[in-house]
Amino acid sequence: MKRISSLILVIILTISGINAQDFEVAPVIINFTANPGEIQQQKVTIRNHSNFEEDFTFTVGDYKIDKDGKQIRMKAGESDRSLADWLTINPSILTLNPNEEKEIDVIITVPKDGNATKWGMIYVQAATEQQENPLDKQLATGILIKPRIVILVNQSPKTNNKYFAKINDLKEVTSKNDSTRAFEVVVENTGDKIIEARVQLAIANLETANEQKFKKEMKRVFPGEKRNFILTIPKNAGQGKYALAAILDYGHGTNLEAKQMLIDFK
């Protein structure tokens, strides 16, 4: 019994030690609006919540978003939209005492031909680990967990007003067991600004002209990328033939975009 209690104590203390290796970063999204030839700077605060001194490193990476919104990470410079060469992080290594916080400067230098929207990420990672936990001397192997926080960085010049998007596809994807009718809408950002795309479905009875609109869904769409929306409507809208429209609103004074199809309710 004593041996079991000791083991439980070791587990609790070990877990507590892992949780103590914690830190906080704010903000986790940085938006730059520098025009070509300009330099902008923003500050990021790092706080060490662990009970020992810790070094933190800052490295730049790239990413893209697929149709389902999954973030696909890439090495710095691999993306056509990479801003890795434009970013400077000062300092690039930071040492913090327990419960201490400090600031770093994230600086973007946009070249004179830097008219396009670009994006990337900064990895903030603990650079050192406790070398030895005296409670773990009996263990032959162990796993070192290095926490990492990602800061997303966006850059789009104030002079860039290329807000354009369209609906590429609208089709029904309802399965037999669905309690509602489901439709897939594909939105493509054809411009050069990051947009907040809001899509909703609307139906109109072709005989009575009665209309119904349904809840909007919003997703962020990056330039040159597509996002899938799955939207639903009730199955009991009433018998007859209907025109179903997918309506896209992405703001900034742009016109609404729409795509429609005919459907039957039996």
The domain that contains 102 carries what CATH number? Answer: 2.60.40.10
- Give the model's pLDDT for residue 266: 82
Q: Which domain range does residue 229 map to?
A: 165-265
**pLDDT classification of 57: cutoffs 50, 70, 90:** very high
Answer yes or no: is 9 within a domain.
Answer: no
Q: In 3D, which of 154, 123, 138 has the Cα closest to residue 25? A: 123
Q: Answer with the one of 107, 131, 155 that is the final residue of a domain.
A: 155
Q: In one letter, which amino acid is 101? A: E
Residue 27 lies in a domain: yes
Task: Return the C-alpha torsion angle 58, 62, 67, 68, nearest 10.
Answer: -20
Residue 5 within any structural domain of the chain: no
Is 247 found in the same domain as 182? yes
Q: Under DSSP, is residue 179 helix (H, G, I), strand (E, B) or coil? A: coil
Whether 186 is covered by a domain: the verdict is yes
pLDDT digits (tens, 9 = 90+) for 14-54: 343 444 448 999 999 999 999 999 999 999 999 999 899 99
* Residue 123: alpha-carbon gap to chain centroid: 14
> Is residue 129 very low, low, confident or very high in pLDDT (cuts 50, 70, 90)?
low
Kindly tell me if the per-residue pLDDT of 181 is higher than 70: yes
Total of domains in the chain: 2
Nearest to 89 by CA among 37, 35, 54, 46: 46
DSSP 185-216: EEEEE-SSS-EEEEEEEEEEETTT--EEE---
**Residue 51 shares a structural domain with residue 120:** yes
Residue 86 contacts residue 118 (beta carbons within 8 Å): yes
pLDDT at 183: 98
What is the rounded average pLDDT of the residues 117-129? 89
Name the least confident of 45-54, 111-120, 122-131, 228-237.
Answer: 122-131
Is the pLDDT at 114 greater than 50? The verdict is yes
- Average pLDDT across the chain, whole number: 87
pTM of the model: 0.81
Tens digits of per-residue pLDDT, 74-93? 999 999 999 999 999 999 99
**Same-domain pairing of 171 and 237:** yes
Q: Which of 28, 31, 68 is nearest to 46 (CA)?
A: 28
Looking at the structure, tell me whether residues 101 and 192 fall in a common domain: no
Residue 134 sits in the same domain as residue 171: no
The confidence score (pLDDT) of residue 101 equals: 96
